[in-house]
Structure 1
Amino acid sequence: MELRELKSFLKIMEVESFSWAAKELGYSQSALSVQIHSLETELGVRLFDRLGKQVALTPPGKELARRVLPILQEVEEVENVMHNRPPVEALRIGMIESLCKAHMPQVMDYVCRNLPDLHITITIDSPSVLLDALNHNKVDLVYVLDKPLYDVKWEKVFQKRENIVFVCSLDSPLARKKEVELEEVLRQPFFLTEKADNYRLSLDQHLAARQLALNPLLEVSDTGFILDMVQRNLGLSFLPQYVVENSPYRDRLQILRVKKFRMHMYRQLFYHKDKWQTQAMKVFLQLAVKENPPDPEEMDGEISRKRRKDSCMDPGSVI
């Protein structure tokens, strides 16, 4: 087996296309096909199923990928050391807007101080779009807020419960009450995120189950603008608690305690199990695990057992 054949094999696996892999590697498609045919002949197995223009790993192909990924990572590190050159540092993260605003400023503070050569690209979109991008190697990591999500193709680094709350201005009469009725809250003007946002959708479904509905004064994706309107006492909103706590208006806001109403979702970080982990990914994942030790009451089955042993790791991450 030649290294170039193995690298070509992994690139095809990543982009799921011979033609795209050839373009990225600088080969003709026929030359790339010859490499893979040579590798398959040597191993005596078929590595890919050709499905039109798309390709998929066969079971032997998946086994080969699992075994050669760590080997080629070590080879790359050796080459970098021997040539006395730093590895190319790039990281592509898919995030929802609220997590980006709440957590990436601290991340960038750490990066600027400790990893000045790291280049980060952030894609903002819905969880479903981001996870599809993860499956097609368009992002390296996905960081979302949603119900617990699972797929055999993904590795979940952590899962942390986050409260979704009603919030008002300190000047609102509701702010002075220890507890308020849901119906009283719904009578107020509301500034909400768009219906496609998962916590907004969950709220609408919860209210519909109780024969209730909420017609907001304004719908907008910018949570910063929403909280600006709320702190001016122009209405209420319904947002993740971390958004409120990280807002520059947090001293002007009050989280409401609503009778017989609790809602939460889970902050989750994923990478693809077949992804070649770069050093930048390893650093980000290590920081994430340190900041988010597992909570056995929140984690489910296998994830809880797998991560519980890491719960003694020291905190101090920026994520």
Structure 2
Amino acid sequence: MEVRQLNTLIRAAQFQSFSKAAESLGYSQSAVTVQIKTLEEELGVRLFDRMGKRVILTAQGRRFLEYAHSVLDTIHSARQAMSDDTDLNGCLHIGTLESLCFFRLPGLMRQFRRENPGVSLRVTTGSPEELIEKMERGDVDLICILDEPRYSNSWHKCNEVPEEVVFVASPGLDLGHPGPYRVEELLDKPFFLTERNANYRHTFDNFLASRQIELTPALEISDTAFIIKMLERSSGISLLPHFAVTESAARGGLRILEVSDFRLTMYRQMFYHCDKCCTREMRAFIHLASGPDLPL
């Protein structure tokens, strides 16, 4: 019995597919099939039922899966115990949203690199759904998203931090009075918004629909930094995370609006999959990102 067979068993059980397990591990499908067959022959039991393209754990398979997790956890703990006195020198692959990557991660990365110069960092951006899929496939170690609170028995949630989403306007835009405003008072101005599948944009669209209001934005784009530049250099309104607009508002490039009838809070959340061993590199990054003051 080999460690790689246990890893293959866990991935096949996770995806209910030998082909998807092979893809996530970098093996051929035939290699996965051989590993599982060899493991079944050694144990003298059938671990999976083959149901067309799907594979499902048998009762014996579900029982053995618990032991597989236990064995791998023990091996991982032993390796960590042998290396806890050494500097971190592994790899860390983080998946995150473009807005978090641009406005939240640079300071965090800078501090992490200062404390752990030997770690190789890789960052992948995408939507929350894309990042969750990558985490489920084992393509990334950690993901950090901004969304409504998300939960799954398959994920370990490292933190959950509220982040306010606010209306902002170009500093010279005439809104008639200093505020507070109602949403309807703003709708005759050009709106620069994130695309419809963005989480806080979806919430705003639902709010407008509940009041039978239809809004056609002057600009739709996923790039938050581009929207901010457009607001600074032209005339319009947007709805963006507070952390993304703080710097521009402080130097007078944007104006944060007080809106009385629409308030929105999203949550910055970090996850890793429960089947993923939490490496020393992951633990160090989680510890830094979960501190009371996020490095900026």
TM-score normalized by structure 1? 0.78
Cα distance between partner residues in 1 of 2:171 and 2:24? 56
The offset of 1:176, in angstroms, is 6.2
Q: Does 1:193 align with 2:194?
A: yes
Describe the superposition over 1:272-300 as per-residue Cα deviations: whole angstroms up to 9, x where unpaired: 1111112111111222332xxxxxxxxxx
* Aligned pairs (5 A) from 1:104-115: 104-115=105-116
- The answer (yes or no) to whether the contact 2:9–2:36 under 8 Å persists in 1 is no
Describe the superposition over 1:112-159 as per-residue Cα deviations: whole angstroms up to 9, x where unpaired: 312222222222111112112211212221211111111111111122
The offset of 1:74, in angstroms, is 2.5
SS of 2:197 mapped into structure 1? coil
Provide the aligned C-alpha RMSD in A: 3.0
Question: What residue in structure 2 maps to residue 90 of structure 1?
Answer: 91
- The answer (yes or no) to whether the contact 2:92–2:119 under 8 Å persists in 1 is yes
Question: What residue in structure 1 maps to residue 157 of structure 2?
Answer: 156
Cα distance between partner residues in 2 of 1:182 and 1:283? 43
Cα distance between partner residues in 1 of 2:119 and 2:272? 18
Question: What residue in structure 1 maps to residue 132 of structure 2?
Answer: 131
Question: What residue in structure 2 maps to residue 293 of structure 1?
Answer: none
CA 1:136–1:113 in 2, change beyond 3 Å: closer, same or farther?
same
CA 1:71–1:237 in 2, change beyond 3 Å: closer, same or farther?
same
SS of 2:78 mapped into structure 1? helix
Cα distance between partner residues in 2 of 1:211 and 1:22? 49
Cα distance between partner residues in 2 of 1:38 and 1:87? 39
Cα distance between partner residues in 2 of 1:155 and 1:287? 17
The offset of 1:87, in angstroms, is 6.6
In structure 2, stretches of 5+ residues that fail to align are: none
* Number of residue pairs aligned between Structure 1 and Structure 2: 286
Question: What residue in structure 1 maps to residue 3 of structure 2?
Answer: 6
The offset of 1:260, in angstroms, is 1.6
Question: What residue in structure 2 maps to residue 252 of structure 1?
Answer: 253
Q: Which residue of 64, 69, 78 corresponds with 1:66?
A: 69
- The answer (yes or no) to whether the contact 2:160–2:268 under 8 Å persists in 1 is yes
CA 1:317–1:186 in 2, change beyond 3 Å: closer, same or farther?
closer
Question: What residue in structure 2 maps to residue 40 of structure 1?
Answer: 43
- The answer (yes or no) to whether the contact 2:160–2:269 under 8 Å persists in 1 is yes
Q: Does 1:75 align with 2:50?
A: no
CA 1:144–1:115 in 2, change beyond 3 Å: closer, same or farther?
same
In structure 1, stretches of 5+ residues that fail to align are: 291-314
- The answer (yes or no) to whether the contact 1:168–1:174 under 8 Å persists in 2 is no
Cα distance between partner residues in 2 of 1:9 and 1:182? 56
The offset of 1:12, in angstroms, is 3.8
Question: What residue in structure 1 maps to residue 278 of structure 2?
Answer: 277
Cα distance between partner residues in 2 of 1:35 and 1:68? 18
Describe the superposition over 1:33-54 as per-residue Cα deviations: whole angstroms up to 9, x where unpaired: 354225534xxx6544545455
Cα distance between partner residues in 2 of 1:86 and 1:224? 36
Question: What residue in structure 2 maps to residue 263 of structure 1?
Answer: 264
Cα distance between partner residues in 1 of 2:176 and 2:282? 43
Identity over the aligned pairs, expressed in percent?
Answer: 35
- The answer (yes or no) to whether the contact 2:249–2:256 under 8 Å persists in 1 is no
SS of 2:236 mapped into structure 1? coil
* Aligned pairs (5 A) from 1:221-236: 221-236=222-237
- The answer (yes or no) to whether the contact 2:99–2:225 under 8 Å persists in 1 is no
- The answer (yes or no) to whether the contact 1:186–1:214 under 8 Å persists in 2 is yes
Cα distance between partner residues in 2 of 1:134 and 1:22? 13
Cα distance between partner residues in 2 of 1:7 and 1:242? 43
Cα distance between partner residues in 2 of 1:255 and 1:203? 17
Cα distance between partner residues in 2 of 1:159 and 1:175? 38
- The answer (yes or no) to whether the contact 1:159–1:266 under 8 Å persists in 2 is yes
Question: What residue in structure 2 maps to residue 204 of structure 1?
Answer: 205
Q: Does 1:144 align with 2:145?
A: yes
Cα distance between partner residues in 2 of 1:212 and 1:131? 32
TM-score normalized by structure 2? 0.84
CA 1:75–1:122 in 2, change beyond 3 Å: closer, same or farther?
same
SS of 1:260 mapped into structure 2? coil
Cα distance between partner residues in 1 of 2:25 and 2:276? 19
The offset of 1:271, in angstroms, is 1.0
